[in-house]
Structure 1
């Protein structure tokens, strides 16, 4: 396990504390619609951090061609109908570009600054001219409105039990997912980013905000700096 990361519950647990069986159960929600609204029909999409394919499946169903990248082979074994690549995202260099590059699941908030720089540079490296990068960021109250919980229509409850500062601008977050037949927990470290700090991180990687896609500014459409 990575420092500050752990997970509990049935099935395989990845080094960052993600439970494969849990992520196979989580619904895509409205995220595929948000993504589809920001990219051309039939676009070639590079999905960075695809996991088990929670977004891959609905994106393919909307007519997109998806290349799914994840560092967990156990996660990628669940992906169907898409090209898959196993390895660290920050080291990815496919020598090809895509209409859209997707960095979801709050990956931009990784606690490791060098990894974050690598993630964003991988995004910039793989986006085609005229293409875009779609990034999901934490909500403004993600680390302050705790504890909190939400009952999902799919029949489970997700609870953010705590978010505690551990130094250096990093928080350790503890999340719980309760299903009728199983419970999973995940502890991970994240770096909160103000809107200004987020946009500065983009500029450092050669990207800039084109527009925020949701009212809460958790989904962002970025483009290469012109």
Structure 2
């Protein structure tokens, strides 16, 4: 069995005589489900809009996905570059804001990107930083540094409190998710499974549509691997990378979803020639 499928999902499919078909959550068919799952989530939007009001220039939304943060930023009057590695994800954003003059979509890796302009605000929402290992985070910090305008702000989120603790606990549950059709009528039940890897540094997350789990069925298993990161560790990494000690503040969201927003600026001496050489 693949290393991206949890033991609970593997056992469930085996009992049903079903065959797993792995699909990354952030590409292809996975993006349609992801948009249904998180599209209505308003967490961080209020805080990001407040930061944007303090920033004079353009905004860079890193790992923008389907535009959960980008769309309200553009609609508030800001010029936004939405960067994501998945063109499938960005296609949702393009459909939501077709040919918008204040939107620029860029397909690029958040660990290593080079854009022609600096930004007064760089945001990374939805705890997307947990997709990266230590080396990947170091490369992200370097890329952000190269693209921050003087006095620019870098802000990203991570789970905190009870929410962070819950990420380390194996879990299997049924969750109702909005259906693919228009309107509020349709919902589908998905199996959600979470399992920690042996070293405790990351967790595997699986989603399976319950109706697909039938004998002989070809079952799509949406998969993701996410690192378990504390705001203390991330704050230390930022300082080591030359950023100021970040301000850590709670995101106002629904009870039980404890999210922390880390906000920082570049504190080191800017060597623009060196930045240009490494871009």
Q: What is the TM-score of this pair, normalised by structure 2?
A: 0.64
Residue of structure 2 in register with 1:10 after alignment: none
Q: Which runs of 4+ in 1 moved over 4 A?
A: 13-18, 148-160, 177-180
Does residue 205 of the first structure (1) align with residue 235 of the second (2)? no
- Matched residues in 2 for 1:46 and 1:191: separation? 23
Q: More strand by proportion, 1 or 2?
A: 1
1:48 is displaced (CA, Å) by: 0.7
- Matched residues in 1 for 2:208 and 2:57: separation? 33
Residue of structure 1 in register with 2:49 after alignment: 36
Segments of 5+ residues of structure 1 without an aligned counterpart are: 7-12
| Correspondent of 2:68 among 39, 54, 60 | 54
Q: What is the TM-score of this pair, normalised by structure 1?
A: 0.77
| Correspondent of 1:147 among 153, 161, 171 | 171
Structure 1 stretch displaced more, 84-93 or 144-153: 144-153
| Correspondent of 2:104 among 72, 80, 83 | 83
1:178 is displaced (CA, Å) by: 6.6
Segments of 5+ residues of structure 2 without an aligned counterpart are: 7-22, 179-183, 212-218, 252-257, 269-279
Q: More helix by proportion, 1 or 2?
A: 2
**Between Structure 1 and Structure 2, how many residues are aligned?**
216
- Matched residues in 2 for 1:151 and 1:60: separation? 30
Residue of structure 1 in register with 2:117 after alignment: 96
Does residue 110 of the first structure (1) align with residue 131 of the second (2)? yes
- Matched residues in 2 for 1:58 and 1:186: separation? 27
Q: Taking structure 1 as reference, are residues 21 and 217 closer, same or farther at Cα in structure 2, changes over 3 Å only?
A: closer
Residue of structure 2 in register with 1:170 after alignment: 201
Residue of structure 1 in register with 2:226 after alignment: 190
